[in-house]
Structure 1
């Protein structure tokens, strides 16, 4: 599948890969921005989301698979969050001029896996963004960074990401945590494997409860028998549900069977 590298900023990690539908289109197509996970670390790259980006473009949407500054590659919370905002803004900025296919800027969707889900929900909640997503899909999302740091389940990685321990900057952790940012005003679907031991499904369930109580439209789909990385495997139930959540007209009205 042909791809186009697009720089959305001057830093080496500020780029993404744009995949366009190969079939002829006459109407503007939706845009899906993909945010990969990997503990916000430079050990992981946007190739984690490449297969999903290609599949989405085959199904008729434009896929914008973004890289961003991460810990070990010029990143930390300040730089990483700024990059995700800039990557989303690029959908209405640089991308339309580079795409031979018209893009529907009123129909932008964001999907993120694990740490990428935290970033996807965070940027969806930035109400002054130039581009407001139509929906956000969180795969195995890290929803409460404060709780994870306080419980020491990811303390070292989070301290490196924020540049401070949770004990010294609890508000910083909370401000970045999706569960504390509701309502975001953007419909969300949270998908989580029941066998996930890296980020337990209870994290997405708690986000669903908090978001719904705050008035957001939100669904939580728990996937029996699958874990954290099944989202990366084509043909898994988590993969198929992600496509449904991103492409169905109304994934909130009919829970998966």
Structure 2
């Protein structure tokens, strides 16, 4: 994939400034180290057919025109190279086998679509279903040419304030980096509560974590060295999974929402906590008690609590007080607070991420440099 290029296509009638889209395309391609360009595509099918025969990662913004949107389900060589992206929320959309649909992340979401289009071609993953529903899967990435002893496993649980517009692609770069460092990266997708309810989210995460054991023999995974890493809202899910699931070796919260009761009162994420859980703590006390990492202490599992200093001040406060409460409750806790914003903790280029992996290595791969 050394000659990989990025082509961003915009369909007719798209309500977005082309100059701004071009700026985002150029900046993201430079960051990824790939050439790329943005083009209007009134004849998008012809562009897709041409690009599908070349070494290109395609991001297609179809716009509202029905004829263009119908191309999303058309098969062809382009499909495995294409991420379809809708700036506005559209809900799930059917696509041809091999392609991906993302929606609702606004203009900034184009950057994520470009990243995913590149990552999935540069570093393909093996998709493993842990259930029969469309969102019940994990993507497994392994070290190149691995043929040694069973690997420690990093289960990745994405955030996004439990909302369906954010998906497992948020953790692509982390998964690739962890695999290069000697881990088996198990990037977990799950049903989010805004469409499926809180119980579905909880059961999916539990099933997705448990599925590691079933895949261990075939893929060379060590079920006794499993770390669960969650970012933002995924931090809450990771800590709960560790509390619920016996055998987790390490729970890692990356800028996690680790205090749901206080998060509800402070309306973090514009009311994300009661929206996800289905109501307030006063209305659903048992749901909050079962779900809130702070309420579950002691977890009885070693924990690594990671937080960037330039993040939301409420998250900084939650994580500091959570780490202290966990220690007081008798848990084995490392609290790592370093410079960085909300996404630095999942950025392989950030110093806080390098320190996070070093702390993981100390637990799961002693004697390695991280």
Q: TM (normalized to structure 2)?
A: 0.62
Instruction: Give the stretch that moved more between structures: 37-46 or 231-240.
Output: 231-240
Partner of residue 216 from structure 2, selected from 77, 96, 104: 96
Q: Which residue of 1 aligns with 2:142?
A: 20
Give 1:170 deviation, angstroms.
3.5
Aligned mate of 1:113, from 216, 219, 231: 231
Deviation sequence 1:120-149 (CA, Å, 0-9, x none)? 0001001xx3x5111111111101111111
State whether structure 2 residue 291 is matched by structure 1 residue 142: no
Aligned to 1:202: 317
The C-alpha deviation readout for 1:195-243, integer Å capped at 9, x for no partner, is 211643121111111111111100111113x121212323112221222
Rounded Cα–Cα distance in structure 2 between residues aligned with 1:202 and 1:172: 23
Alpha-carbon contact 1:33-1:108 (below 8 Å) kept: yes
Q: How many residues align?
A: 243
2: CA distance between counterparts of 1:236 and 1:49? 14
Q: 1:190 and 1:173 mapped to 2: Cα distance?
A: 21
| Runs of 5+ unmatched residues, structure 2 | 1-122, 366-370
Any unmatched runs of 5+ in structure 1?
252-257
**Equivalent residues of 1:8, 1:16 under 8 A apart:** yes
Higher radius of gyration, 1 or 2: 2
Q: Matches of 2:284 and 2:290 in 1, distance apart? A: 10
Matched, 1:8 2:102: no
Matched, 1:231 2:349: no
Q: 1:31 to 1:250 in 2, by over 3 A?
A: closer
Partners of 1:41 and 1:59 in 2: how far apart?
30
Correspondence for 2:360 among 229, 246, 252: 246
Structure 1 length-normalised TM: 0.88
Q: 1:161 to 1:198 in 2, by over 3 A?
A: farther
- Which structure has more RCO (C-alpha within 8 Å, separation ≥ 6)? 1
Matches within 5 A, 1:1-257: 1-74=123-196, 76-93=197-214, 95-99=215-219, 102-126=220-244, 129=245, 132-154=247-269, 156-197=271-312, 199-224=314-339, 226-249=340-363
Aligned in 2, Cα 1:120/1:170: closer, same or farther, shift over 3 Å? same
